Amino acid sequence: MKLIFFVGMPVMLTRKHPLLLEADVIANGVLGNIVGMYPTPEELSMIRFEVDGVVVHKLQCPPKLLLIKLHSYHNTLVNGFPEGVIGLPPLHASLRLLKIPNLSQASVTVDQFAAVPAFACTTEKLQGQTCHDGVVVSPLDRRRGTPAQNTVRRVIL
């Protein structure tokens, strides 16, 4: 598994982790920025190199937590963390390949963080969110479906 992220990267949470069920502010579609990870890169086994003046840390194993500062949350969400910061653990998922004849006994196991880069978001993912930095609507061929102005009105609320 390759996890490519950087401190300051905007992310969107795609799923609520079972360990965070009690946290009402965490849901599918919540936006935030990565502010760090636990353990720190220095505490993990890693390879450090530089590309065009940018320091890259290639970790040998994923961190236990991604530290994410949620947008629009200014109270302390987790004791010991700064305001609006949560620790997101990776999700563990297993899938049996029963429908594939030659691989019916095989399974795939994945550990991944339920976050995706959020440099841009679709109007469907932004429903119910307030956009403070502006909205860009690209002209599309809309022969069917919802007119663009109605979609944007729903997003900006």
Q: What is the pLDDT of residues 107-118, one digit of tens each?
A: 888 888 888 888
Q: What's the CA gap between 65 and 157, in Å, rounded?
A: 33
Report the pLDDT averaged over residues 70-97: 81
In terms of phi and psi (left: phi > 0; alpha: psi -120 to 50; beta: otherwise), the region of 2 is beta
Measured between alpha carbons, how far is 87 from 77 in angstroms, rounded to an integer? Answer: 10
The predicted-structure confidence for 1-22, as pLDDT tens digits, reads as follows 466 788 888 998 888 777 777 7
For the stretch 89-112, pLDDT in tens is 888 888 887 787 777 778 888 888
Query: Is residue 8 classed as helix, strand or coil in its secondary structure?
Result: coil
The answer to whether the peptide bond before residue 39 is cis (omega within 30 degrees of 0) is: yes
